[in-house]
Amino acid sequence: MEMLSIPYIRFNKFDNEWFSKKLDLVSNVTMGQSPDSKNYTDNPNDYILVQGNADMQNGRVVPRVWTTQITKLAEKGDLILSVRAPVGDIGTTDYPVVLGRGVAAIRGNDFLFYLLSRMKQTNYWAKFSTGSTFESINSNDIKSAEICLPSQDEQSAIGSLFRTLDDLLASYKDNLANYQSLKATMLSKMFPKAGQTVPEIRLDGFEGEWEEKEFIQIVNRVTESSDSDSLPKVEFEDIISGQGKLNKDISSKFDNRKGILFKPGYTLYGKLRPYLNNWFLPKFEGVALGDFWVFDPNGNNSDFIYYLVQSSRYQKVANDTSGTKMPRSDWKSVSTTIFAIPQTIAEQQAIGSYFSNLDNLINSYQEKITQLETLKKKLLQDMFI
């Protein structure tokens, strides 16, 4: 007897109850079978082989390995389900592909794709997974899976909604990657390379050579300590690596541990494992706990100093570390390295503003992506049964 039910959230124009069916009564399921490895090739003219999750990115098959031997085939548009660790990952294929034993093909639409995505999200397959070190599900587990579904029209509406969300997410992620790439490029080109006094790329309205100084002449390294229990404490774990943002509210993170006192506009630079990119430009007074250097901009523009330590030239010397397990930047090396800086505060401010605006764009897209992913997760939970 078929079970009837309705989801928590649905489009207003639909009111029919959903019904439950086994997956193999709704769709064709094809289990994979690996070709002989001697038939694997790197020739794009051969058949694309999908062996598992490694052959899918962002819900799409990405050709990586080819084969001359056909075992089991999936058609263009089929859904590809990972049946071995990680069990339940789902993608689609834009090409006919040969299926290895790590995947199964399911004939389906966008609704079924997102229903299977939800099953992954809710750990549906975990109860079937076998093997303590290598999880897997079998043909019977997949074919006998009970799924709830509505009319074809409602399936189309739901599938279209989630496809639109994913397209928007992909657009935001592309924009984020482009701005991150632009920032990385500009950090290498808007600060002069060793031995040069003019940057490769310069903002309009500025000319003349930059002034060469040792880093110790550009900033004051702050060493004053404090154990104040009325100032917030900043630790490595509070900073999002490479983003210069706090991952939590530390405004009331008070205790009497001792660290380096910092003021608004001072740059915090994590000298332990510098490749982790723990840098931060605070707008408040506080105490830095752990292996931080704290830099007073020493009359220079604080934003400029903050981005100078992110530049390719600074990063190269800061990451020339000693120690294998706990590498640290070497102050003697960093402090005596010569950097060229603009002779006018106006150019420093312009460079600082340029990168600050880039960071704001990057942060904006990161927030949009987080919000959309949260919305999608909620809707997957509430628009399916």
pLDDT exceeds cutoff 60 at 358: yes
Q: 104: buried, middle or exposed (CB in 10 Å: 19+, 13-18, 0-12)?
A: buried
For the record, the structure tokens of 320 come out as 């020339």
Q: What is the pLDDT of residues 284-330, one digit of tens each?
A: 999 999 999 999 999 999 999 999 999 999 999 999 876 667 889 99
pLDDT exceeds cutoff 50 at 1: no
pLDDT at 326: 81
Q: What is the pLDDT of residues 52-97, one digit of tens each?
A: 999 998 889 999 999 999 999 999 999 999 999 889 999 999 999 9
Q: What is the pLDDT of residues 112-158, one digit of tens each?
A: 999 999 999 999 998 886 655 668 899 999 999 999 999 999 999 99
DSSP-assigned letters across all residues of 94-109: SS-EEE-TTEEEE---
Work out the mean pLDDT of the chain and round it to a whole number: 94
Q: Do 116 and 89 form a contact (C-beta atoms < 8 A)?
A: no
- Report the candidate in 300, 308, 371 with the shortest Cα–Cα distance to residue 334: 308
pLDDT exceeds cutoff 70 at 2: no
Backbone dihedral region of 284: left (phi > 0), alpha (psi from -120 to 50 degrees) or beta? beta
Query: Alpha helices, DSSP H only, in 100-213?
Result: 110-121, 139-143, 152-189
pTM of the model: 0.85
Q: Confidence class of residue 5 from pLDDT cuts 50, 70 and 90? A: confident
Q: What percent of the chain has pLDDT over 70?
A: 97
Sorted by sequence, the CB contacts under 8 Å of residue 384 that are 6+ apart come out as: 7, 114, 115, 118, 148, 158
> Residue 9 carries which side chain, given as an amino acid letter?
I
Helix (H, G, I), strand (E, B) or coil at 181: helix
- Report the candidate in 165, 227, 223 with the shortest Cα–Cα distance to residue 380: 165
Q: What is the pLDDT of residues 180-205, one digit of tens each?
A: 999 999 999 999 999 999 999 999 99
Strands 233-234 and 286-288 turn out to be parallel
- Average pLDDT on 233-241 reads 95
> Residue for token digits 């009359």?
299
pLDDT at 85: 82
